[in-house]
A = this chain, B = another copy of it.
Amino acid sequence: MPLNKIDKLLEHDVSWLLDSGPDGDIAISSRIRLARNIQSLPFPIAATAGQLEQIQTAAELALKKSKVIGKEYLDIHMSDYSELDRQILLERRLISSEFVEKKEHTSLFVKQDESCAIMINEEDHIRIQALCPGLQLFKVWEQINKLDLELEKSLPYAYDSQLGYLTSCPTNVGTGMRASVMLHLPGLVLSERINAAIQGVSKLGLAVRGIFGEGTDNRGNLFQVSNQSTLGESETHIIDRLSTVITQLVMHEKNCRLSLLKNKKHFLLDHIGRSYGLLRHAYTLSSEEALNSLSDIRIGVDMGMFNSIDLHTVNKLFMTINPAHLQKFAQKELNSQERDIFRAAFVRKQLKNAKHSQGE
């Protein structure tokens, strides 16, 4: 079977997982997405098949013409791909869960290093996202803004001089921007301070969600913090406010870790050691158990407990232990029980050369 475009993605390193950005021990990645629509065409939810096709064609043309979309981009017609392939894109955070189901007249443009992706005919005509490792929202903003301005040259965006960008859902009207940072907060969780922290962040008008967006829990102690409002503030002002809060959360997390290390060292070492033992030696492993144990390993790596395992290996596992990736590696469909067995073998192998440096 020849490799399709999605298979190609699996062969490349993911830029935002590979490099550790600023505060990369706690902030895994920074992400911004912009919602854009083309003037005089109905939003996808209200569009006929013909209109959807018209939107798709116009958007694709504009993207292909654009100077910032080069050869390093793959253009993917979602209808050409299997359910499994579309799930792979979801697990790689390149598309939304709604987009997995929406096959007709939908396209994805994705940079091969996965730092940028554009969905056509999701909830809005165009959804652009850019990702960087660590906490560096302004860098992401620079990149995505450049792409957005370039696109605007060839696409007449639906824009209201008073409201700003018009979007399918009113919650996006204005900037059409959602900026978010994925944080790893095991220290706050283990210290039982996470709920207070989430409440504090919510009061500041920011949202805290699980790893795969709304409705998902905090598996792996991963949290996405993002702006809620898109009206009445400039993009840079929103990003500035978000960055300030996240910097505080990062400090809070660091303090919790130091305090655990100082006052509950054996509890912490034991917690991390047991998770390492589990990932290293279990023969069946659920997704949730794997994510939670990987979270513990990540603290161990941050704290220098492991001498030959790096954050990149752990970050990648957070993605690759998910069902679609496992089935892709196994090259066959696996039921839930088979996946748990395959997942355990996969993780054992990945961590095989990761020696446990402390206490041996």
Contacts and interface: CB of A to CB of B under 8 A. Distances in A.
Interface of A: 266-267, 269-270, 273-274, 276-284, 341, 344-345, 348, 352, 356, 359-360
A283 B273 contact: yes
A266 B283 contact: yes
A283 B352 contact: no
A266 B341 contact: yes
Contacts of A270: 282-284, 344
Given A345-B359, A348-B359, A273 B266 contact: no
The 7 A-B pairs of least Cβ separation, nearest first, read A277-B277, A277-B281, A270-B283, A273-B281, A269-B283, A270-B284, A273-B283
A interface, by DSSP: helix, strand, loop or mixed?
helix
A360 B345 CA distance: 8
A267 B270 CA distance: 24
| Most chain B beta carbons < 10 A, residue from A276, A284, A356 | A284
A283 B344 contact: no
Contact of A281 (B266, B276, B344, B345): B276
Given A266-B341, A341-B266, A356 B274 contact: no
Given A348-B360, A352-B360, A282 B273 contact: yes
19 contacts: A266-B284, A266-B341, A267-B284, A270-B282, A270-B283, A270-B284, A273-B281, A273-B283, A274-B277, A274-B282, A277-B277, A277-B278, A277-B279, A277-B282, A280-B280, A280-B281, A283-B359, A348-B359, A352-B360
Q: Can you tell how many copies of this chain the complex includes?
A: 2
Contacts of A352: 360
Contacts of A356: 281
Contacts of A283: 266, 269-270, 273, 359
Contacts of A267: 284
A348 B266 CA distance: 14
A1 to B, nearest CB: 28
A279 B356 CA distance: 14
Contacts of A276: 277, 281
Contacts of A284: 266-267, 270
Contacts of A345: 359
A273 B347 CA distance: 13
A135 to B, nearest CB: 31
Contacts of A348: 359-360
A118 to B, nearest CB: 42
Contact of A274 (B266, B269, B281, B359): B281
A110 to B, nearest CB: 36
A266 to B, nearest CB: 5
A309 B307 CA distance: 25
